[in-house]
């Protein structure tokens, strides 16, 4: 039997962060993380725990994302973020929520695999673990990450410049 | 050697190449201007991507866009893991096992609970508030120091005359059926009967359980015990559906003890909130702002869904943690400054969280 308590203590925080970044909703992220650890209870032996945990969570997200209600809720949140609210917001928070909206938009531009690989790398998974979790060859992880990083940064910059352009014309 | 491809450069910078490969890449990058520039660019992309992703972390919880009242009261969408009772049992066992360990490891966590007479907690109706027996509040404050769960001479946990008066006839029926003893007003005040067979595996049954009133049980121990037995994934899911902002009645002048409780919990929270949501201040949404000024007897509070140190927390508009809460049917029960309040879940208001 897997020592789920150890697993939980070790990976819960990075997993929730990974999922929150992926989903843009902390409650949803915590739901998925919890379900992941429930599944771990049923595993007798895990060769690479971290890769397993992230792979299961990633698959749950893919399943979950198909569900309409959740998806709608997610989109509502995104649109709320994108609106960046009106002028009664403190300037700092306005900037932060704008940046969050740009980042969210940029992340959505990436392909699913690129996005997941990048988010897993940010949580400290090594190339072997990313390859295992996503079913990639190790040799392709570097290419995947380089493409994901470039696209993310480009899309983020583009979102920002579009916003600035929109303000000037507006 | 040909020019380095971008994937190799990233793999090198990520430390994913073996020693021989890394040495080769390093040597080439030092001697080739084009590849040197590509390496510099890759460093920039790695840092830039990391920065972009970090800006996603500031995600609030429980403050999703307002649901229409009809939707808010509708049953949450059923999800696959909810359908299987055995999954719920395992999850409860897991949460319980971790909770017990956590609690045992951290003696101060025991301080986060205030006992509430069962009769008071259970018979409270929506909109009512009850000030707790001062002796119980005092007792909980005295018992802050870490210690084993030995019996203490806690005051008998009975409803105060004030509470009885507030509850009136409506409360008396439930008071009679209450098991007495002590019960947490905290989130964990849900009924112990919800615990499944899976709980027994963890050995928690050894912990003090709620017993007949004459048995001297440390009030917070019983409260914690009850809390742990109650939090099933279903409960947790319902809680998350109910989290958000509510307008509550401001109780009378807060007592010194109640203030102490709030500040103690705030300190406790700041020590142990490493993996939880940042304390957040909130502002009413524009729609809500108009009514914010009206009614000096109410205030905006935010019920956070994150489980921190075994409690779901209540935050004031200034972002301070002022109490804890749990859901009970269609109402949220809030314990703020030693005062128990009941707020209908249907009265949730829109608000914005500003870190």
Between B195 and B37, the more confident residue is B37
In angstroms, rounded to a whole number, what is the distance separating the alpha carbons of residues B58 and A100?
8
Question: How far A63 CA lies from chain B's nearest CA (Å)?
Answer: 10
Contact (CB, 8 A) for B94 and A41: yes
Contact (CB, 8 A) for B188 and B310: yes
- pLDDT at position B167: 37
Q: Burial of B214 by CB count in 10 Å (0-12 exposed, 13-18 middle, 19+ buried)?
A: exposed
Residue A31 clears pLDDT 70, i.e. is over it: yes
- pLDDT at position B335: 77
- When mean pLDDT is compared across A147-161, B88-102, B180-194, the lowest value belongs to B180-194
> What values do phi and psi take at A50, rounded to 5?
-65, -45
Would the CA dihedral through A117, A121, A123, A128 be positive or negative? positive
- pLDDT at position B192: 34
* DSSP tag of B306: E
- pLDDT at position B328: 74
Q: How many C-beta neighbours within 10 Å does residue B349 have?
A: 16
Average pLDDT over residues B47-72: 64
Residues of A in contact with B236 (CB under 8 A): 34
Question: How far A67 CA lies from chain B's nearest CA (Å)?
Answer: 9
% chain B with pLDDT above 90: 15
CB-based contact, A120 to chain B, within 8 Å: no
Contact (CB, 8 A) for B301 and B318: no
- pLDDT at position B281: 43
User: What confidence tens digit (pLDDT) does each residue in A4-15 have?
Assistant: 788 888 999 999
User: What confidence tens digit (pLDDT) does each residue in A90-121 have?
Assistant: 567 777 788 888 999 999 999 999 999 999 99
- pLDDT at position A59: 92
Comparing CA positions, the residue from A19, A32, A28, A64 lying closest to residue B243 is A28
Contact (CB, 8 A) for B226 and B199: no
- When mean pLDDT is compared across A7-21, B210-224, B263-277, the lowest value belongs to B210-224
Residue A158 clears pLDDT 80, i.e. is over it: yes
Q: pLDDT grade, residue A127 (50/70/90)?
A: very high
- pLDDT at position A139: 93
Residue B17 clears pLDDT 90, i.e. is over it: yes
Local structure of B301: helix, strand or coil: strand
Q: pLDDT grade, residue A151 (50/70/90)?
A: very high
By C-alpha distance, the chain B residue nearest A159 is B52
Alpha helices (runs of H) in A42-90, residue ranges in sequence order: 49-64, 68-83
In angstroms, rounded to a whole number, what is the distance separating the alpha carbons of residues B334 and B343?
8
Between B229 and A22, the more confident residue is A22
Question: How far B65 CA lies from chain A's nearest CA (Å)?
Answer: 6
Residues whose CB is less than 8 angstroms from the CB of residue B230 and which lie 6 or more positions away in sequence, other chains included:
B187, B188, B189, B190, B191, B192, B194, B195
Token pair listed for B65: 């866009």
For chain B, the first-to-last Cα distance in angstroms comes to: 51
Could you list the beta-strand ranges (E) of chain B: 115-117, 129-131, 182-184, 244-249, 281-284, 298-308, 311-316, 321-328, 331-336, 339-344, 351-354
User: What confidence tens digit (pLDDT) does each residue in B340-349 have?
Assistant: 778 888 888 8
Do B49 and A17 lie within an 8 Å CB cutoff? no
Residue A133 clears pLDDT 80, i.e. is over it: yes
Between B308 and B260, the more confident residue is B308
Local structure of B15: helix, strand or coil: coil
- pLDDT at position B10: 97
Nearest CB to B50 within list A70, A122, A126: A122
Residue B57 clears pLDDT 80, i.e. is over it: yes
- pLDDT at position B238: 66
In angstroms, rounded to a whole number, what is the distance separating the alpha carbons of residues B132 and B127?
16
Residue of A72, A91, A149, A154 for testing the chain B interface, max B β-carbons within 10 Å? A149
Range picked from A17-26, B182-191, B269-278, B339-348 for highest mean pLDDT? A17-26
User: What confidence tens digit (pLDDT) does each residue in B130-141 have?
Assistant: 444 444 444 444
Q: pLDDT grade, residue B112 (50/70/90)?
A: very low
Residues of A in contact with B79 (CB under 8 A): 67
Bridge partners (DSSP) of residue B247 are: B300
Average pLDDT over residues B291-304: 64
Average pLDDT over residues B224-244: 57
- pLDDT at position A155: 95
Comparing CA positions, the residue from A121, A105, A118, A123 lying closest to residue A147 is A118
Alpha helices (runs of H) in B231-282, residue ranges in sequence order: 233-242, 256-272
CA distances from B213 to B36, B40, B148, B188 (A): 77, 71, 21, 19
Residue A134 clears pLDDT 50, i.e. is over it: yes
Q: Is the ipTM here above 0.90? A: no
Residue B271 clears pLDDT 90, i.e. is over it: no
- When mean pLDDT is compared across A74-83, A130-139, B102-111, the lowest value belongs to B102-111
Contact (CB, 8 A) for B282 and B246: no
Residue of A5, A21, A27, A29 for testing the chain B interface, max B β-carbons within 10 Å? A27
The pTM of the full predicted model, rounded to 2 decimals, is 0.43
User: What confidence tens digit (pLDDT) does each residue in A53-65 have?
Assistant: 999 999 998 877 6
Would the CA dihedral through B263, B340, B290, A88 be positive or negative? positive
* DSSP tag of B279: P
- pLDDT at position A126: 96
Average pLDDT over residues B329-347: 78
């Amino acid at each position: 039997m897997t020592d789920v308590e150890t697993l939980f203590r070790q990976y819960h925080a990075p997993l929730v962060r990974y999922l929150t970044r992926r989903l843009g909703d902390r409650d949803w992220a915590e739901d998925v993380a919890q379900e992941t650890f429930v599944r771990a209870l049923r595993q007798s032996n895990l060769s690479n725990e971290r890769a397993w945990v992230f792979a299961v969570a990633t698959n749950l997200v893919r399943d979950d994302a198909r569900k309409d209600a959740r998806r709608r809720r997610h989109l509502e949140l995104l649109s709320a973020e994108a609106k960046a609210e009106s002028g009664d917001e403190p300037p700092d928070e306005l900037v932060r929520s704008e940046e969050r909206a740009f980042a969210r938009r940029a992340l959505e531009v990436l392909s699913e695999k690129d996005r997941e690989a990048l988010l897993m790398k940010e949580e400290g998974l090594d190339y072997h673990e990313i390859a295992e979790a996503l079913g990639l060859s190790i040799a392709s992880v570097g290419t995947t990450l380089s493409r994901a990083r470039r696209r993310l940064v480009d899309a983020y910059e583009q979102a920002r410049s579009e916003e600035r352009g929109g303000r000037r014309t507006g | 050697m040909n020019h380095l491809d971008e994937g190799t450069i990233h793999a090198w910078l990520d430390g994913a190449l073996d020693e021989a490969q890394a040495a080769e890449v390093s040597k080439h990058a030092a001697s080739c201007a084009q590849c040197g520039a590509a390496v510099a660019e890759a460093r920039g992309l790695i840092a830039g991507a990391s920065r972009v992703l970090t800006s996603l972390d500031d995600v609030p919880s429980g403050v999703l866009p307002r649901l229409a009242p009809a939707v808010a009261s509708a049953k949450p969408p059923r999800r696959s893991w909810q359908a299987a009772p055995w999954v719920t049992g395992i999850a409860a066992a897991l949460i319980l096992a971790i909770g017990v360990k956590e609690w045992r490891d951290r003696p101060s966590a025991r301080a986060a609970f205030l006992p509430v007479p069962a009769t008071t907690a259970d018979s409270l109706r929506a909109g009512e508030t009850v000030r707790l027996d001062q002796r119980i509040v005092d007792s909980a404050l005295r018992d802050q120091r870490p210690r084993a769960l030995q019996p203490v001479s806690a005051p008998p946990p009975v409803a105060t005359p004030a509470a009885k008066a507030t509850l009136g006839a409506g409360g008396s029926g439930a008071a009679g059926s209450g098991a007495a003893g002590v019960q947490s007003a905290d989130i964990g005040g849900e009924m112990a009967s919800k615990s499944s067979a899976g709980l027994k595996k963890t050995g928690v049954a050894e912990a003090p359980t709620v017993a007949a009133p004459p048995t001297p049980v440390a009030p917070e121990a019983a409260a914690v015990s009850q809390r742990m037995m109650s939090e099933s994934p279903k409960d947790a899911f319902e809680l998350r559906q109910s989290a958000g902002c509510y307008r509550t009645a401001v109780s009378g002048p807060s007592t010194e003890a109640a203030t102490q409780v709030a500040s103690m919990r705030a300190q406790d929270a700041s020590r142990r909130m490493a993996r939880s949501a940042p304390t957040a201040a909130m502002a009413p949404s524009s729609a809500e702002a108009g009514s914010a000024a009206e009614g000096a007897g109410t205030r905006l509070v935010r019920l956070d869904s994150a489980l921190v140190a075994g409690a779901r927390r209540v935050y004031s508009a200034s972002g301070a943690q002022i109490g804890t809460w749990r859901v009970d049917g269609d109402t949220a029960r809030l314990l703020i400054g030693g005062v128990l309040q009941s707020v209908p879940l249907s009265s949730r208001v829109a608000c914005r969280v500003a870190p």
